[in-house]
């Protein structure tokens, strides 16, 4: 059965999968080479020239393929599954959560701005429901279910203890030095995305869009 990473939007599920993908056990059909060459490929193809406006687009290029190796989901259950369902209980799942809801919600808002209510609902309601679910999973005492606090993904240096937990869950080798390179590239993308986000919405291009809507698109009578 394919292992699964389950997480609320913005909590780093895709990044965890990229960190795990450098292991030699993960065979990327679109890339052949050593661990170091794979790390370089990820840094150049996934974590370069990446910003708020193309963040999800880049992930989606490889999602279908990677889901056949390590699946990522936002929901723990499929269809009518429940916690006492033997099929669900047999799934190998890593649940990511955070303490800082707002940091996660605002990151998700930045990369998925088409949903303007994300911050309010994601931080206020979604995480509360998520934590309630995680309490049930924890009480199930299933060895193949692991819950991992992942606030540290926003830090510039890959947290060693956190990294060990994800590779122990996957049963992979400790490639911390190489994983640090991937994480450093990811961190720089997060920082640059926020800078680009601010620059765009404070800049002349976005102002020109607002001016057009105000002065051309909307009937002036509707503004009264």
Q: Print burial letters for 12-29: b (CB count within 10 Å at least 16), e (below 16).
A: bbbbbbbbbbbbeebebe
More confident residue, 75 or 124: 75
What pLDDT does residue 29 have? 74
**Mean pLDDT in residue range 140-161:** 94
What pLDDT does residue 121 have? 63
Cβ contact 81:103 at 8 Å: no
More confident residue, 192 or 101: 192
More confident residue, 37 or 221: 37
Q: What span, in angstroms and rounded, lies between the C-alpha atoms of 48 and 46? A: 6
Contacts 24+ apart (CB under 8 A), 36-45: 36/178, 39/178, 39/181, 39/182, 42/18, 42/182, 42/185, 43/181, 43/182, 43/185
Q: What span, in angstroms and rounded, lies between the C-alpha atoms of 41 and 32? A: 10
State the burial class of residue 219 (Cβ atoms within 10 Å of its Cβ: 0-12, 13-18, 19+): exposed
Confidence of residue 218 (pLDDT cuts 50, 70, 90): confident
Q: Tell me the pLDDT of the chain averaged across its residues.
A: 89
What pLDDT does residue 223 have? 54
**Structural domain of residue 166, as residue ranges?**
4-223
Q: Across 43-52, 83-92, 112-121, which has the greatest mean pLDDT?
A: 43-52
What pLDDT does residue 73 have? 93
Helical packing angle, 160-170 and 13-21, nearest 10°:
70
What pLDDT does residue 94 have? 97
**For 156-169, how does the pLDDT look when each residue is reduced to its tens digit (9 = 90+)?**
999 999 999 999 99
What pLDDT does residue 78 have? 86
Rounded to 5°, angle at Cα 212 from 206 and 216? 170
What domain count does the chain have? 1
What pLDDT does residue 118 have? 63
Of 11, 215, 166, 15, the residue nearest 96 (C-alpha): 11
pTM here is 0.91
What pLDDT does residue 117 have? 61
What pLDDT does residue 224 have? 55
* pLDDT above 90 coverage of the chain, percent: 58
**For 171-186, how does the pLDDT look when each residue is reduced to its tens digit (9 = 90+)?**
999 999 999 999 999 9
Confidence of residue 104 (pLDDT cuts 50, 70, 90): confident
Residues present in the chain in total: 224
């Amino acid at each position: 059965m394919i292992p699964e990473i389950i997480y609320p939007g913005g909590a780093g599920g895709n990044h965890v999968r990229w960190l795990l993908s450098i292991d030699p056990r993960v065979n990327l059909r679109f890339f052949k080479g050593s661990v170091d060459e794979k790390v370089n490929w990820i840094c150049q193809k996934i974590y370069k020239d990446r910003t708020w406006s193309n963040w999800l687009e880049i992930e989606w290029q490889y999602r279908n393929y990677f889901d056949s190796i390590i699946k990522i989901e936002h929901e723990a259950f499929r269809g009518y599954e429940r916690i006492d369902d033997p099929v669900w209980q047999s799934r190998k799942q890593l649940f990511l959560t955070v303490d800082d809801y707002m940091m996660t919600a605002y990151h998700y808002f930045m990369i998925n701005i088409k949903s303007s209510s994300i911050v309010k609902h994601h931080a206020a309601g979604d995480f509360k429901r998520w934590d309630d679910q995680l309490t049930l999973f924890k009480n199930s005492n299933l060895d193949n279910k692991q819950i991992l606090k992942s606030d540290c993904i926003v830090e510039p240096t890959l947290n060693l203890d956190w990294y060990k937990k994800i590779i122990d869950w996957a049963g992979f080798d400790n490639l911390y030095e190489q994983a640090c390179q991937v994480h450093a590239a990811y961190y720089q993308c997060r920082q640059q995305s926020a800078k680009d986000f601010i620059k765009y919405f404070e800049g002349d291009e976005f102002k020109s869009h607002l001016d057009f809507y105000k002065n051309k698109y909307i009937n002036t009578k509707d503004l009264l």
